[in-house]
Structure 1
Amino acid sequence: MSVDVPRPIDPSLHPLATGNYRIATPAIQAFYDLVIRCLHYRIMGALIYGPSRIGKTRAIEYVRLLLARNYPKMTSYHAQCEHKPRHAEGPFFANLLEAVGDPDPNAGSNPSKRMRLSLRIREAAARAGSGTVLLFCDEAQRYNENEYEWLRDVHDALDRQQIKLFTFLVGQQELLAQKTGLQIAGKTQIVARLMVDELSFYGIRDAEDVATCLDGYDRTAYPEGSDWSFTRFYVPRAFQAGYRLVSNAGVLWHAFESAHHRANLPGRLEIPMESFARAVEIVLKESELKDALQYTPDIALWAHAVHHCGYVQSRHATGRVLVAA
């Protein structure tokens, strides 16, 4: 049993215990590559769309962490688009003001909110030492044409102040339909500013994707800079003897496949990151008490983890079919 092995930190503070961590998937890497391509080619806006609960919000957070590490002078924001019965200018700008850290986002008239938004972004860009700002709008399919126009106004206002705002509209598949609708309606100014590039976001699609993600647990260290990977933290003796989660990639994929088919779920298997991460967390936490030099999580434990990770339940709840891109 590994609970008596000294750890570098209190186990209750570990990111896997708090849920405060992000593991890269091939889709997240594609998302990050899209962002870098847009920055490189000065493409000011792009769409990232996919089914609900597939991991897009987690992906935004991961991409922002990567950007902060690789481009520390760039400023990025994450705005959560709200469902509103009426699309009014005041709530729209209050929402963006909240995203950029304004202390009182609801205060003032609509024109003053607009001015304050530009001011807050300009101040942050000046502090960071770069005129490049990235805005990720989550659940962007909730925007309507007016809100896209107001967003375009924000771009123009910042552009006049030598600040380049790159907008990434992240949401469900309706986003693509909105783009098509705007093109048909001749609203090319919105499309040309906010919707130039696009990416279909997806879950974990095969055993190779599973291996990529499990490798993240085997390699990601906490505390940072230490040699305590997530896997080692939970099964230090097995890890010392050479065990790595990635060696069970095929087993975990098969466990999800079996659950998918047993539940008669439609469409091809595509694992949301939330369900995947919960399954891995269950295995690591259960394994901690069984850790030994020759220990390997058995097939039954992986199946148990998949059963309790919420994959089947969430698919039944949403009733959605995942369509291959």
Structure 2
Amino acid sequence: MPSKKGISARVPHPAPPGSILNNVRPIDPALHPIETGSYRIATPAIQSFYELICRCLRYRITGALTYGPPRIGKTRAIEYLRLLLCETHPKITTYHAQAEHKPRHAEGPFFSNLLEAVGFPEPDSGSNPTKRLRLINKIKEACSRNGSGTVVLFCDEAQRYDENEYEWLRDVHDHLDRIQIRLFTFLVGQQELLAVKTALQQARKTQIVARLMVEELAFHGVRNVNDVATCLAGYDQTCFPRSSDWSFTRFYLPQAVTNGYQLGNDAALLWNAFSALHHKHGLPGELEIPMNGNVSIFTCHLQAFQ
């Protein structure tokens, strides 16, 4: 992390006193999303994921997989994308199921997991057929409430599913399709997920692949200065309160922003600092910063000026 001195050298000098008419923060700083941690910023990988979702919705591709290294930000990406879809496609119902590690794969726990994802109050109760029916009915109710027969399901850590679980998921697709509800499933997991698809293709399980794994997307962290600039632009363009013109950057640097500064101006400075640290410590491979890491770094960068 660059020193505060090194970063602040890029910030314009404050204008003379009295030259700024209104730079009084509109809310208590303690309530700002950066302080509470209740915000998400898009990365290029998240943008690519969103484009994949839109493409699948447009062309009725009912299944895709996204894979990447552990702790690169895939779960946070799902959280961001659900919020974004709520804004851009308010009638679409979205769910986030977390596949669990378990020594044996059984139908009951699988459907309990999905029932928990759709918000059923007692997901572990009932027989397996009852759980299936409850899942379908819960999704049907949500679609009726939202006024659309389109559902997006994110299955996180999907490399943990076995062949039977993929078959059960395909059964859910077919059941919903019969009642005019179209389910789009996005399998999210580690690189092994791609190997799962290959194995299913080799075993001629084409019905699973055709329903759940048509498209592929490699998910990555921040890998170059342009990726950093894209992330920083989120701070320059996202406002809070939402109806105001107080960008995240302006909230922490009101005088500097009035003078023309944007956090994106520091993209090269930050990337060079990351790269220098990477080489200094002799870390293997190309530099790639996980989503959690870059959010923490950029947040510290802003908070340093308080």
Partner of residue 119 from structure 2, selected from 86, 89, 101 = 101
Q: Does residue 232 in structure 1 map to residue 250 in structure 2?
A: yes
Q: SS of 1:82's equivalent?
A: coil
* Match of residue 206 from structure 1: 224
Equivalent residues in 2 for 1:49-60, closer than 5 Å: 49-60=67-78
Q: What TM-score do you get using the length of structure 1 for normalisation?
A: 0.86
Q: Does residue 141 in structure 1 map to residue 159 in structure 2?
A: yes
Percent identical pairs in the alignment equals: 68
Bigger relative contact order (CA 8 A; separation at least 6): 2
Query: How much does 1:6 deviate?
Result: 3.7
Partner of residue 270 from structure 2, selected from 252, 257, 270 = 252
* Match of residue 198 from structure 2: 180
Partner of residue 27 from structure 2, selected from 1, 6, 9 = 9
Query: How much does 1:225 deviate?
Result: 1.6
Amino acid aligned to 1:148 = Y
Q: SS of 1:62's equivalent?
A: helix
* Match of residue 84 from structure 1: 102
Q: SS of 1:225's equivalent?
A: coil
Q: Distance in 1 between matches of 2:39 and 2:72?
A: 17
Query: How much does 1:202 deviate?
Result: 0.9
Equivalent residues in 2 for 1:19-58, closer than 5 Å: 19-58=37-76
Q: SS of 1:76's equivalent?
A: strand
Q: Distance in 2 between matches of 1:150 and 1:268?
A: 39
Amino acid aligned to 1:23 = I
Query: How much does 1:193 deviate?
Result: 0.6
Q: Distance in 2 between matches of 1:166 and 1:219?
A: 30
Gaps of 5+ in 1: 289-325
* Match of residue 296 from structure 2: 278
* Match of residue 126 from structure 1: 144
* Match of residue 166 from structure 1: 184
Q: SS of 1:216's equivalent?
A: helix
Q: Distance in 1 between matches of 2:60 and 2:124?
A: 32
CA deviation vs aligned residue, 1:132-171 (integer Å, no higher than 9, x gap) = 1010011111111111011011111111111000000001
CA deviation vs aligned residue, 1:70-96 (integer Å, no higher than 9, x gap) = 111111111111111211111111111
Q: SS of 1:287's equivalent?
A: coil
* Match of residue 18 from structure 1: 36
Partner of residue 189 from structure 1, selected from 195, 207, 217 = 207
Query: How much does 1:125 deviate?
Result: 0.4
Q: Distance in 2 between matches of 1:87 and 1:264?
A: 42
TM-align CA RMSD: 1.2
* Match of residue 266 from structure 1: 284
Partner of residue 173 from structure 2, selected from 138, 149, 155 = 155
Q: Distance in 1 between matches of 2:133 and 2:276?
A: 55
Q: Distance in 2 between matches of 1:113 and 1:265?
A: 48
Q: Distance in 2 between matches of 1:69 and 1:109?
A: 37
Q: SS of 1:198's equivalent?
A: strand
Aligned residues: 285
Amino acid aligned to 2:183 = L
Query: How much does 1:273 deviate?
Result: 1.1
Q: Distance in 2 between matches of 1:223 and 1:79?
A: 31
Amino acid aligned to 2:305 = S
Amino acid aligned to 1:268 = E
Amino acid aligned to 1:64 = R
Q: Distance in 1 between matches of 2:251 and 2:125?
A: 47
Query: How much does 1:286 deviate?
Result: 1.5
* Match of residue 71 from structure 1: 89
Query: How much does 1:259 deviate?
Result: 1.4
Query: How much does 1:10 deviate?
Result: 2.0
Amino acid aligned to 1:104 = E
Q: What TM-score do you get using the length of structure 2 for normalisation?
A: 0.91
Q: Distance in 2 between matches of 1:191 and 1:14?
A: 44
Q: Distance in 2 between matches of 1:85 and 1:261?
A: 41
Gaps of 5+ in 2: 1-13, 15-22
* Match of residue 9 from structure 2: none
Query: How much does 1:7 deviate?
Result: 2.2
